[in-house]
């Protein structure tokens, strides 16, 4: 017997870890720094690490109280009702829940390209079809309502990533509102704010709740995660904030105890440790400024509101490989459809300085030609295309 026809599906290939790379190159792991998966260079909140240790002895029970407590704490943080918080196994789990709650077989989902691969993967798991809207490199990947509306055509779900991975661009709330107004009545707009803490922008929760002069609406949801600013990628914890009208659906679509006891306890402790998040955000701001100022002027570094920057190095696979040989693991963005670009995660001061120095040396030694002026090697998304599953490899 065989599984169902999965030929439309592709495996998720996560960024490679230090251990794996060191073993392959026959080197010591301590020689490497990994700036490839947008992880927190300061690690988890120390309070969360303590909570994890303390929770270890109670993992024989299902996480009933912890789940309820974390839901209440997150709801409080956003001033919404508990029912509007859909906890999940990572932000990725929340993507699944939103698709489970919306998609009938054959419904369309609209996703950005370049963009985060899991939207499309998840849509296909839920028997949806995937269409793409292009962010144009020539426009510095600007996100406006019109960019999406050019392609949008009655999809059930439209994904906005703000700040956007891997480019760092954002969509202003007024544009998100206009987009929600102009898409079909039955279109849910999901604003993925996985990097929201790092951005100098207001959350789209204001649109759901009708705050700051916006009208409340039932067609926008927001995705958040503990993986990035909170440094809890390893425990897998994220959530969606949904309109009041959607509150009851969660009980019908979630996997029982969506977040584990360990994840919930770590999340509760991390939420209380504001100092850790502030320090993390401050480090990311300094790091991205440093990279913009000090990376060789021939290599374009886009402005970013995330904890990473996108850099045009001319030949991403050659440059990423050589940087890795010299101990700095960065993300080759070829699989995002940006074969000239690498993405560098914001590290500690020391890690950032090492990454910049290594990159500048590699650019000088390899004699590749980055494109500071901004030619157009990427798909600039003039036309709507059915997405090609082969092109979607990963990733965070
Ligand atoms: C990291 C990330 C997520 C969520 O990741 P999880 O680790 O599953 O929480 C969601 N969207 C984008 C764009 C991301 O980069």
Q: What is the CATH number of the domain that holds 299?
A: 3.90.1150.10
**CATH code, domain carrying 67:** 3.40.640.10
Dist. CA 75 → ligand 1 center (Å):
20
Q: Which of 207, 239, 272 is the last residue of a domain?
A: 272
Out of 14, 38, 88, 90, mutate this one to test ligand 1's pocket (max ligand atoms within 8 Å of CB): namely 90
Identify the pLDDT of residue 333.
95
Evaluate whether residue 196 is within a structural domain.
Answer: yes
Question: Does residue 91's CB lie within 6 angstroms of at least one atom of ligand 1?
Answer: yes
Identify the pLDDT of residue 374.
55
Q: Which of 237, 253, 272 is the last residue of a domain?
A: 272
Evaluate whether residue 3 is within a structural domain.
Answer: no
Dist. CA 180 → ligand 1 center (Å):
22
Residues 69 and 190 placed together within one structural domain of the fold: yes
Residues 344 and 279 placed together within one structural domain of the fold: yes
Residues 249 and 284 placed together within one structural domain of the fold: no
For residue 238, the ligand 1 atom closest to its alpha carbon is 9
Residues 135 and 177 placed together within one structural domain of the fold: yes
Evaluate whether residue 6 is within a structural domain.
Answer: no
33: β partners: 328
Question: Does residue 183's CB lie within 6 angstroms of at least one atom of ligand 1?
Answer: no
CB 221 within 8 A of CB 208: yes
Identify the pLDDT of residue 240.
98
Dist. CA 235 → ligand 1 center (Å):
13
Distance CA 360, CA 296 (A): 6
Evaluate whether residue 333 is within a structural domain.
Answer: yes
What is the number of structural domains in the chain?
Answer: 2
Identify the pLDDT of residue 303.
97
Residues 262 and 298 placed together within one structural domain of the fold: no
Residues 118 and 174 placed together within one structural domain of the fold: yes
Identify the pLDDT of residue 17.
87
Low-confidence ranges of the chain (pLDDT < 50): 376-394
Evaluate whether residue 252 is within a structural domain.
Answer: yes
Evaluate whether residue 60 is within a structural domain.
Answer: yes
* Residue 59 exposure: Cα atoms within 13 Å on the Cβ side: 15
Identify the pLDDT of residue 273.
98
Evaluate whether residue 147 is within a structural domain.
Answer: yes
Question: Does residue 352's CB lie within 6 angstroms of at least one atom of ligand 1?
Answer: no
Evaluate whether residue 392 is within a structural domain.
Answer: no
Residues 182 and 163 placed together within one structural domain of the fold: yes
Residues 29 and 79 placed together within one structural domain of the fold: no
What pTM was estimated for this model as a whole?
Answer: 0.93
Residues 193 and 296 placed together within one structural domain of the fold: no
Dist. CA 223 → ligand 1 center (Å):
9
Question: Does residue 307's CB lie within 6 angstroms of at least one atom of ligand 1?
Answer: no
- Provide the residue count of the chain: 396
Residues 116 and 165 placed together within one structural domain of the fold: yes
Q: Which of 272, 293, 320 is the last residue of a domain?
A: 272
Domain extent for 235:
46-272
Question: Does residue 230's CB lie within 6 angstroms of at least one atom of ligand 1?
Answer: no
Residues 73 and 124 placed together within one structural domain of the fold: yes
Identify the pLDDT of residue 112.
98
Out of 118, 166, 167, mutate this one to test ligand 1's pocket (max ligand atoms within 8 Å of CB): namely 118
Residues 158 and 108 placed together within one structural domain of the fold: yes
Out of 38, 93, 143, 228, mutate this one to test ligand 1's pocket (max ligand atoms within 8 Å of CB): namely 228
Q: What is the pLDDT of residues 245-288, one digit of tens each?
A: 999 999 999 999 999 999 999 999 999 999 999 999 999 999 99
Identify the pLDDT of residue 381.
38
Identify the pLDDT of residue 371.
74
């Amino acid at each position: 017997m065989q599984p169902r026809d999965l030929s439309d599906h592709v495996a998720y290939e996560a960024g490679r870890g230090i251990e794996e790379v060191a073993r392959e190159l026959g080197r010591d792991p301590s020689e490497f720094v990994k700036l490839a998966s947008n992880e927190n260079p300061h690690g988890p909140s120390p309070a969360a690490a303590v909570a994890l240790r303390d929770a270890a002895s109670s993992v024989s029970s299902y996480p009933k109280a912890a789940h309820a407590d974390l839901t209440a704490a997150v709801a409080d943080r956003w001033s919404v009702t508990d029912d509007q918080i859909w906890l999940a196994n990572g932000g990725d789990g929340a993507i699944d829940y939103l698709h489970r709650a919306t998609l009938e077989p054959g419904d369309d989902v609209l996703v950005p390209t370049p963009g985060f691969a899991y939207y499309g993967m998840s849509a296909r798991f839920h028997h949806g079809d995937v269409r793409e809207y292009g962010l144009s490199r020539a426009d510095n990947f600007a996100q406006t309502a019109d960019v999406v509306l050019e392609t949008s055509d009655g999809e059930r779900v439209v994904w906005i990533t703000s700040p956007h991975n891997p480019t760092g661009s954002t969509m202003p709330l007024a544009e998100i509102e206009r987009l929600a107004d102009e898409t079909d009545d039955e279109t849910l707009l999901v604003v993925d704010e996985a990097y929201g803490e790092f951005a100098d922008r207001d959350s789209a929760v204001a649109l759901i709740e009708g705050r700051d002069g916006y009208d409340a609406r039932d067609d926008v949801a927001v995705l958040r995660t503990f993986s990035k600013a909170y440094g809890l990628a390893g425990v897998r914890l994220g959530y969606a904030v949904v309109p009041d009208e959607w509150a009851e659906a969660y009980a019908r679509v979630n996997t029982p105890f969506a977040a584990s006891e360990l994840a919930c306890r770590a999340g509760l402790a991390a939420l209380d440790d504001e100092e850790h998040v502030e320090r993390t955000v401050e480090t990311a701001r300094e790091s991205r400024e440093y990279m913009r100022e000090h990376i060789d002027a021939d290599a374009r570094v886009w402005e970013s509101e995330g904890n990473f920057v996108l850099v045009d190095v001319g030949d991403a696979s050659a440059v990423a490989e050589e940087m890795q040989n010299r101990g700095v693991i960065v993300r080759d963005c070829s699989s995002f459809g940006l074969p000239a670009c690498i993405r560098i995660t914001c590290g500690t001061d020391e890690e950032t300085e090492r990454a910049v120095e290594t990159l500048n040396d590699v650019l000088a030694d390899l004699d590749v030609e980055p494109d500071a002026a901004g030619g157009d090697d990427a798909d600039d998304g003039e036309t709507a295309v059915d997405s090609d599953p082969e092109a979607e490899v990963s990733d965070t």
